[in-house]
Amino acid sequence: MSRRRHSDENDGGQPHKRRRTSEPIEIEDRLESLICRVGEKSTSSLESNLEGLAGVLEADLPNYKNKILRILCTVARLLPEKLTVYSTLVGLLNARNYNFGGEFVESMIRQLKETLKSNLYDEALYLVRFLSDLVNCHVIAAPSMVAMFENFISVVQEQDGPQVRCDWYVYAVLSSLPWVGKELYEKKDVEMERILNQIESYLKRRQKIHVPMLQVWTAEKPHPQEEYLDCLFAQVQKMKKDRWQERHILRPYIAFDSVLCEALQHNLPPFTPPPHSEDAVYPMPKVIFRMFDYTDAPEGPVMPGSHSVERFVIEENLHCIIKSHWRERKTCAAQLLSYPGKNKIPLNYHIVEVIFGELFQLPQPPHIDVMYTTLLIELCKLQPGSLPQVLAQATEMMYMRLDTMNTTCIDRFLNWFSHHLSNFQFRWSWDDWSDCLTQDLDKPKPKFVKEVLEKSMRLSYHQRIVDIVPANFSALIPANPIFIYKYMDESSSSLPGYPVTIAISNAIINRSSNDEILTILKDVPNPNQEDDDDEGDSFNPLKIDVFLQTLLHMAAKSFSHSFSALAKFHEVLKSLTDSDEGKLHILRVVYEAWRNHPQMISVLIDKMIRTQIVDCAAVANWIFSPDMAHDFTRFYVWEILHSTVRKMNKHVQKIQKELETAKEKLEKQHSRKKDSGDEEEDKNSDEEDGLLEEQIERLQEKVESAQSEQKNLFLVIFQRFIMMLTEHLVRCETGGVDFNTPWYKNCIERLQQIFLMHHQTIQQYMVTLENLLFTAELDHHILAVYQQFCALQM
Amino acid sequence: MSILNALRSDSYVDISQYRDQHFKGNRYEQEKLLKLSCSLYVGNLSFYTTEEQVYELFSKSGDVKRIVMGLDKVKKTACGFCFVEYYTRADSEHAMRFVNGTRLDDRIIRTDWDAGFKEGRQYGRGKSGGQVRDEYRQDYDPARGGYGKIIKK
Read off the pLDDT of each residue in A529-555 and give the average, rounded to a whole number: 79
Read off the pLDDT of each residue in A57-71 and give the average, rounded to a whole number: 92
| Nearest by CB: A36 against B4, B44, B61 | B4
d(CA A417, CA A473): 18
Residue A529 pLDDT grade (very low, low, confident, very high; cuts 50, 70, 90): low
Mean pLDDT of chain A: 92
Chain A residues within 8 A of B91 when measuring between CB atoms: none
Task: Indicate the SS3 state at residue A454.
Answer: helix
pLDDT of res. A672: 79
Task: Indicate the SS3 state at residue A544.
Answer: helix
Query: B21 to chain A: nearest residue by CA?
Result: A3
Chain B residues within 8 A of A369 when measuring between CB atoms: 60
Task: Assess B51–A contact: CB distance below 8 Å, yes or no.
Answer: yes
Query: B110 to chain A: nearest residue by CA?
Result: A12
Question: pLDDT of A629-683, one tens digit each?
Answer: 999 999 999 999 999 999 999 999 999 999 999 999 888 888 877 776 676 666 7
> Hey, CA dihedral for A355, A360, A364, A370, is it positive or negative?
positive
pLDDT above 60 for A605: yes
End-to-end CA distance of chain B, in Å? 61
Do the beta carbons of residue A466 and residue A458 sit within 8 Å? no
Query: A458 to chain B: nearest residue by CA?
Result: B53
pLDDT of res. A428: 97
pLDDT of res. A69: 95
Smallest Cα–Cα separation from A623: which of A612, A609, A634?
Answer: A634
Angle at A251 between CA A250 and CA A254, to 5 degrees: 145
Bridging pattern class, strands B110-114 and B107-108: unpaired
- The answer to whether the bond into A496 is cis (omega within 30° of 0) is no
pLDDT of res. A15: 45
Q: Do A2 and B44 touch (CB under 8 A)?
A: no
Q: Spell out a b/e string for B110-119, using b for 16 or more CB atoms within 10 Å of the CB, else e.
A: bbbbbbebee
Question: Which of A9, A422, A467, A651 to substitute to test the interface with B, most B CBs within 10 Å?
Answer: A422
Question: pLDDT of A476-493, one tens digit each?
Answer: 999 999 999 988 877 878
Read off the pLDDT of each residue in A360-385 and give the average, rounded to a whole number: 97
The proportion of chain B whose per-residue pLDDT surpasses 90, expressed as a percent, equals 91
Read off the pLDDT of each residue in A236-250 and give the average, rounded to a whole number: 94
Read off the pLDDT of each residue in A155-181 and give the average, rounded to a whole number: 95
Question: Which of B16, B40, B47, B52 to substitute to test the interface with A, most A CBs within 10 Å?
Answer: B52
The proportion of chain A whose per-residue pLDDT surpasses 70, expressed as a percent, equals 95
Residue A537 pLDDT grade (very low, low, confident, very high; cuts 50, 70, 90): low
Interface A–B counts its CB contacts (< 8 A) at 131
| Nearest by CB: B4 against A32, A374, A459 | A32
Q: Do A461 and B50 touch (CB under 8 A)?
A: yes
pLDDT of res. B92: 98
Task: Assess B15–A contact: CB distance below 8 Å, yes or no.
Answer: no
Q: Do A36 and B99 touch (CB under 8 A)?
A: no
Which one has a higher pLDDT value, A523 or A369?
A369
Q: Smallest CA–CA separation between B147 and chain A, in Å? A: 16
Amino acid (1-letter code) at residue A144: S
Angle at A557 between CA B71 and CA A483, to 5 degrees: 160
d(CA A257, CA A666): 62
Q: For residue A665, count CB atoms less than 10 angstroms from its CB and return exposed for 0-12, middle for 13-18, buried for 19 or more.
A: middle
Question: pLDDT of A748-790, one tens digit each?
Answer: 999 999 999 999 899 889 999 999 999 999 999 999 999 999 9
Indicate yes or no: pTM above 0.90: yes
Chain A residues within 8 A of B14 when measuring between CB atoms: 15
Task: Indicate the SS3 state at residue B107.
Answer: strand
Chain B residues within 8 A of A32 when measuring between CB atoms: 3-6
d(CA A215, CA A363): 10
Task: Indicate the SS3 state at residue B64.
Answer: strand
d(CA A660, CA A381): 47
A-contacting residues in B 87-116 (Cβ below 8 Å): 94, 97-106, 108, 110, 112
Query: A114 to chain B: nearest residue by CA?
Result: B1
Amino acid (1-letter code) at residue A771: N
Question: pLDDT of B114-139, one tens digit each?
Answer: 999 999 999 999 999 999 999 999 99
Instruction: Name, in order, each residue with C-beta under 8 angstroms of A623's C-beta and a sequence gap of 6 or more.
Output: A632, A637, A640, A641
Question: For A216, what's the count of Cα atoms within 13 Å in the CB-facing half-sphere?
Answer: 29
Read off the pLDDT of each residue in A39-45 and give the average, rounded to a whole number: 87
Q: Do A71 and B4 touch (CB under 8 A)?
A: yes
The proportion of chain A whose per-residue pLDDT surpasses 90, expressed as a percent, equals 80
Amino acid (1-letter code) at residue A714: F
- Name the phi and psi angles at A336, rounded to 5: -65, -45
Least confident of A19-33, A434-448, A456-470: A19-33
